[in-house]
A and B are shown apart, each in its own frame.
Chain A
Amino acid sequence: MARVLLTVALVLHLAGVALAALGELRHRASAARAGGLVLLAAWAGELLTLIVLGVTAAAFPLRTGPEYLLVLGWFVLTLHLLLWFRSQVRAAALVLPPVAGLMVLSAFLFSAGKSQDYPLQTQGWFVFHTSIATAGVAALAVSFAMSLLFLVKERALKTKRSLRVLEMLPTLEALDRLGFQALLYGFPLLTLGIATGMVYSAAVHNRLWIWGPKEIFPVIAWAVFAGILWARFARGVRGRRSAILAIAGFAFALLAFVGMVR
């Protein structure tokens, strides 16, 4: 049942990605709108899949790697749809839905593997920790998307060639601002996610720190984001260098999930 739902949602998601990209790249308003609506349907399909998964297992659907990826992809798509409905940054449709789509696709491809067993008394902590961390990574995905678009735009301005790219993307300032705002949401969530993870680890394994990718990569990502924020507040560093670091930080945050699908 969940498998069928996920397949339908994934197909919708990829179709939405294609339509939205067509709409943005070729200035087809109708395709962009259709893409948005198909993505909305995919969003609903993914949510339904999660609910079915949760009900079937009688547990919060964050126990296996694919479930994490699905929740993360769903979160990223949620943020994209919010941005899409509320703001003028339409060009984000070129980055966020594909990123979310890749996550859902991975969730579809990877086998469930061993599910995380957790003592019942820690379930509350576990759910709290995983949802906070996933929401944080989703916000960082928005920051990643804006940073990527920023780099494309900045490159177009520096090479003085692609006028079309210049006109299509939001202003340089808007991309910088949105990327930074997403970071301002994502960073505290990531911090909280790491802290609750340690608490959970201490409760279940009696160890505050375990040397695994699930632990190491988020901490590296955290250090990168902390560096971006410090440089911005203390030294006024922004623009290209911030954008590159934000992309790197997001990559590290994603690597944590590799630890879960192993």
Chain B
Amino acid sequence: MLTLVGMNHRSASLELRERACFAEGDVPAALSRIRESTSATEALILATCNRVEILTRAKDGPNVAAEIRAFLARERGLDDETIDRHVYVHQGLHAVRHVFSVACGLDSMVLGEPQILGQLKKAYALAQESGSTGPVLDRLLQHALSTAKRVRTTTGISRHAVSVAYAAANLARTIFDDLTGRSALLLGAGKMTELAAKHLLSQGVTDLTVTNRTYARAETLADSLGGKAVPWDDFTRELARVDIVLTGTAAATPVLTKEHVRQALRARRGRPLFIVDIAVPRDVEPSVHDLPGVYLYDVDDLQDIVDEGLAERRVAAEQARRMLDIEVVGFDRWRQSADLGPTIAALYEHLHHVGHVEIERYGRRLQTLTPEQREVVLDLTRSLIQKVLHTPIVSLKSAAERGEAGPRAALYREIFGLEHGRPHATQTPQETADEAGSGPTHAIQGGKED
């Protein structure tokens, strides 16, 4: 049974998420504590700024959820009420579905954001290194990661801009060949311009000039961003040189006029100029946009693009969910056929056991046989068992392909009197050979398996 216990940006406040979070270095130790203190045999911890989730797989029981909740409470010092109110639990296919959605960014604060895929990969690597994944989590995570990649390329969910700064950088990329090494001029040294400038820098812009009415603030910001500051009165000179202008002053009237830009145009020799005005009230005269080769976008323009981007993401998310439906069913089929392993093994074991007992019972009467004849009798028994089991097993496997393995396997267990994968065994099979589909452990010596 797969169980996922966790909290995310919807269920819990940032403060609570911070408290519940596991630092990367603590994860391996926490994973081994989970496996020691609960019935989980496989475990994974995904801890990001927007979610803390513990994914486990245990052989049995609805109790795992309670155990993991208790573990979380104990580890992070959370009381029961908090856990009840802010922690969600998904089990079985719901857990599978949740992991797939998380991987695709469908459960993220910003729909379709791509960082989560890397974070999930990291969480999986940590779990693998600390030896807390097994066949089921391995399969689930690999399936989820590859599906997420496919969903991203097919639906284009991450392509559309979802913030004003992102939209501005996207626009710059449709004008300029490459943002690497481009120059930008910042008018105003406020928080908003700083944020937008950081985004441009992360896109490769290297040459940054900052100006502000109070020169000292321009200098401070220039220092922190690795640019240079120029006095306010000199900024018009920079207009002839830079590729991008970013304005965000608190001025009540436009600080950048059509005349300023027009004068710079000749020296620019036709190079395009991209101006982003994120100030309210606006810093740049709207008529600047009419000048040839000048593209002025204000907050409203960018917000329109963001809205469009969000709408596109929602459409893509719908498509992504439909793709996930199919993938979840695919994973379920795999689970079911993997679950058949113990039933099939138990069936063989049961019949071989019956055969073994009967041969023991007839032991004395068989003593008169030569070793060759004895061998023939053993062969006959084995062959009989194989023949009898052949059709039921083929039928069970085809039921699994139709997704009906569960009830069918239960029926077989009932008919043959198998208890949890083990008949009335006289010998205890190795504990390690469990659901992963190992063959019978108690068989007539030399019995062939198929």
Task: Check if B174 sits within 8 Å of A171, measured CB to CB.
Answer: yes
Is residue B269 within 8 Å, beta carbon to beta carbon, of the partner chain? yes
Q: Give the A interface residue count (CB, 8 A).
A: 23
Known: A166-B174, A239-B292. A172 touches B272 (CB 8 A): yes
Q: Which of B177, B266, B304 contacts A160, CB < 8 Å?
A: B304
Given known pairs A163-B308, A173-B272, A236-B269, the reply for A158 and B174 (CB within 8 Å) is no
Q: Which of B105-113, B203-211, B293-301 lies at the binding interface? A: B293-301
Which one of B174, B175, B266, B304 has the highest number of Cβ atoms from chain A below 10 Å of its Cβ?
A: B174
Contact B269 A171 (CB under 8 A): no
- Decide yes or no whether A240 CB sits under 8 A from chain B: yes
Collect the chain A residues with CB atoms within 8 Å of residue B266's CB: 236
The residues in A between 164 and 185 inclusive whose CB is less than 8 angstroms from any CB of B are 166-167, 169, 171-174, 177
CA distance A235 to B292 in the complex (A): 14
B292 touches which of A169, A173, A240 (Cβ 8 Å): A240
**Hey, which chain B residues are within 8 Å of A90, CB to CB?**
none
Residue of A nearest to B304 (CB): A160
Identify whether the interface residues of A are mostly helix, strand, loop, or mixed: helix
- Cross-chain contact A172 with B174 (CB below 8 angstroms): yes
Contact residues of B between 279 and 327, Cβ < 8 Å to A: 289, 292-293, 295, 297, 301, 304-305, 308-309
Interface string of A231-255 (1 = CB under 8 A from B): 0100111111110000000000000
CA–CA, A157 to B175, complex, Å? 9
The docked-state distance in angstroms from the alpha carbon of A159 to that of B270 is 20
Docked CA distance A241–B297 (Å): 22
Inter-chain contacts of A171 with B (CB < 8 A): 173-177
Q: Is the CB of A240 within 8 A of B173?
A: no
Q: Which residues of A contact B305 (CB under 8 A)?
A: 163
| C-alpha gap A236/B265 in the complex (Å) | 10
> Which residues from A are CB-within-8-Å of B293?
238-240
Q: Is the CB of B174 within 8 A of A157?
A: yes
Q: Is the CB of A160 within 8 A of B175?
A: no
CA distance A169 to B173 in the complex (A): 11
Judged by a CB distance under 8 angstroms, whether B171 is at the interface is yes
Q: Among B171, B270, B289, B305, which residue has the most Cβ atoms of chain A within 10 A?
A: B270
B175 and A172 form a contact (CB under 8 A): yes
Complex CA gap A174/B289 in Å reads 21
Query: Which B residues lie within 8 Å of A239 (CB)?
Result: 270, 272, 292-293
Out of A167, A236, A241, A242, which one reaches B174, CB within 8 Å?
A: A167
**A-B pairs with beta carbons under 8 Å apart, 28 shown:** A153-B174, A157-B171, A157-B295, A158-B289, A158-B295, A160-B301, A160-B304, A163-B305, A163-B308, A163-B309, A166-B171, A167-B159, A171-B175, A171-B177, A172-B174, A172-B175, A172-B176, A173-B176, A235-B269, A236-B268, A236-B269, A236-B270, A237-B270, A238-B270, A239-B270, A239-B272, A240-B292, A242-B270
Residue numbers of B with Cβ under 8 A of A are 156, 159, 171, 173-177, 266, 268-270, 272, 289, 292-293, 295, 297, 301, 304-305, 308-309
Closest 10 CB pairs of A and B: A236-B269, A238-B270, A173-B177, A172-B175, A166-B174, A239-B293, A236-B270, A157-B295, A171-B177, A160-B301
Please give 4 more A-B residue pairs, beta carbons under 8 A apart, in addition to A169-B174, A171-B176, A236-B266.
A160-B297, A236-B270, A238-B269, A242-B270
